Structure 1
Amino acid sequence: MSLSTLRRFYEAASAAESEGGFAVHLDGRPVRTPGGRFLLVPARPLAEAVAAEWDAQVETILPSTMPLTQLSSTALDRVAPERETITGYLMAYAGTDLLCYRAEAPADLAMRQSREWQPLLDWAAETLAAPLASTVSVLAVSQPDHALAALATHLDAQDSWRLTAIQAAAAATGSLILALALAEERIDAEAAWSLSQLDETYQIEQWGEDAEATSRRAALKRDIAAAERLLSLLKA
């Protein structure tokens, strides 16, 4: 039976210290990930937050309301055993980062992109030693090898849990730079979402927003917020 159709089968969820970290228990029994691993996290506040997600379930378990459980499972089942693959996935964003592709027109959109996005590229150049080029062309811009190498080195220095949050944020924003800025507390989740949605917000201002777009934007906002919360709980 899939988790999405599983009825609540336990009375209480709790966090418990365990060898190698902190476990989440349901009626005293440890939770396992979809991959069969024990759901063992590195920080008690994170374990308590995951347990709270399980405790909040009513009759049917709804994975969409359990983002920390999902991110923790991803960290254990996918990111930790496949770090090289995940890093490669993230580096693909560096080559086509959202912040590097600007509009030539209309002028007010181009100005907004430059005003809002360029400070983050400047931050990446100064703080991460990763100066990325921007363009108004529809063709891919070639990024400096030393900038890409610096970003790869920075990703390699992250543990699997932070890398999981960075991956989630990059997927939701379309930008490795925004994801790293979130991880390094240069921006918060609200700013990351707003910056990643700059083009869409401009279009909505011109033409309005439909229900499908509203739902999609809200889902991305939740994903970014979950990544930020994971990062916060890891250091709490």
Structure 2
Amino acid sequence: MLQSLRKISARRLGTCLSPFVKLTPWAQKCFYSPAVERKKIYQHVSISQGEGGFEINLDRRKLKTPHGKVLTLPSEALAVAVATEWDSQQDVIKFYTMHLTTLCNTALDNPTLRNKEQFIKAALKFLDTDTICYRVEEPPGLVELQKNEWDPVIGWAEKRYNVVIGSSTSIAGPKIPKETKDVFSRHLASYNSWGLLGIEFIISQLKSLVLCMGLIDRYLTVENAVLLSRLEEEYQIQRWGNVEWAHDYDLQELRSRTAAGTLFVHLCSENSTIKHKLLQD
């Protein structure tokens, strides 16, 4: 049992943070952590097309990143989604609810100065500690639950990408073949740097490259992927009960972040143009 707990702790180190936990300097650089709240001083949100892409206007002022760059987005669909985040704010701007804006800021400012190769390398590291590849040896109920819920996802990924992934009960985790990593590396290389940022964001929420790929390929829904990533927690909640103010918040926040990351990956490469005028009264 102790070995199982150690494995769970190792995989969950750095998992989705509660609002009471201070972000490390690394996390603050990777994904901006702006002021929690600020009074709303704009009335209207609109979208315009500039030379480099689509821009968000708050009244007559262009929205800018923390580094002072004009927030220029690669697709109109993504611009609509980001503009909607700003349009939905009430008297106070709650930055912690604006995950798409945070991702766009990070993509444009690139505070860690990473290139595509570094994004891919960071994503591949999660294969060695992928949540659904680690299995417990007890209790029997959790063993069966992991097999029934996680094995089909691994089976899908192995067939989809023609690779070998497997699972392990060892604290060292499964030994992922180099050929498997090479396949995923080539697949990830097909995304631009914006898409890779979104993929890394999803992986950091779910602690699983396999679940992330299932989401991006539309094999899994956000709800399913989140529940699969929290399988051990959900098992313990069913057994010992739910602490509503903690467990419910963590679940909803994880769903929100995962959904935003998935939407970001799809929309940052969306080329279609929306014909109707946006955010009209």
Distance 2:223 2:36 in 1: 28
**Structure 2 residue 93 is the aligned partner of structure 1 residue 66:** no
C-alpha change, 1:79 and 1:186, in structure 2 (3 Å) is farther
Under a length normalisation based on structure 2, what TM-score does the superposition of the two structures give?
A: 0.77
C-alpha distance in 1 between matches for 2:195 and 2:162? 20
Q: 3-state SS of the aligned residue for 2:175?
A: coil
| 2:202–2:258 CA contact under 8 A, matched in 1 | yes
More helix by share: 1
Pairing partner for 1:48 from 71, 80, 86? 80
2:254 alignment counterpart: 220
TM-score by length of 1: 0.91
Matched, 1:8 2:40: yes
Map residues 148-159 of structure 1 onto 2, 5 A cutoff. 148-159=181-192
- Answering whether residue 197 of structure 2 is matched by residue 164 of structure 1, we say yes
Which residue number corresponds to residue 127 of structure 1? 160
* Structure 1: runs of 5+ lacking an equivalent: none
- CA-CA distance at 1:60 after TM superposition: 2.3
> What is the rounded CA distance, in whole Å, between the counterparts of 1:145 and 1:233 in structure 2?
31
Gaps (5+ residues) in structure 2? Answer: 1-33, 273-281
Taking the aligned partners of 2:109 and 2:186, their CA distance within structure 1 comes to 23
1:7 is aligned with what amino acid?
K
SS in 1 for 2:257: helix
Between the two proteins, the alignment pairs up a number of residues equal to: 235
Bigger drift between 33-42 and 169-178 goes to 33-42
Q: Percent identity, aligned pairs only?
A: 32
| Amino acid in structure 1 at the alignment position of 2:105 | S
* CA drift at 1:177: 0.7
Alignment of structure 1 residues 95-110 onto 2, 5 Å: 95-110=128-143
Cα distance in structure 1, aligned partners of 2:215 and 2:111? 19
Looking at structure 1, the residues matched to 113 and 190 of structure 2 have their Cα atoms a distance apart, in angstroms, of 16
SS in 1 for 2:70: coil
SS of corresponding position for 1:181: helix
Alpha-carbon distance in 2 for matches of 1:81, 1:40: 18
**Alignment map for 1:104-119 (pairs within 5 Å):** 104-119=137-152
User: Is the contact made by 2:53 and 2:72 (CA closer than 8 Å) also made in structure 1?
Assistant: yes
Distance 2:53 2:223 in 1: 30
What letter corresponds to residue 61 of structure 2 in structure 1? R
In structure 2, the residue matched to 1:175 is 208
1:103-160 residue CA offsets vs partner (Å, 9 max, x unmatched): 1122221122112111221222222233212101222332101001111111111112
RCO (CA 8 Å, sep 6+): is it higher in 1 or 2?
Answer: 2
Partners of 1:37 and 1:152 lie apart in 2 by 31
Distance, in Å, in 2 between the alignment partners of 1:179 and 1:163 is 11
Give the distance between the partners of 1:213 and 1:6, measured in 2 at CA: 27
**Does the residue aligned with 1:6 lie in a helix, a strand or coil?**
strand
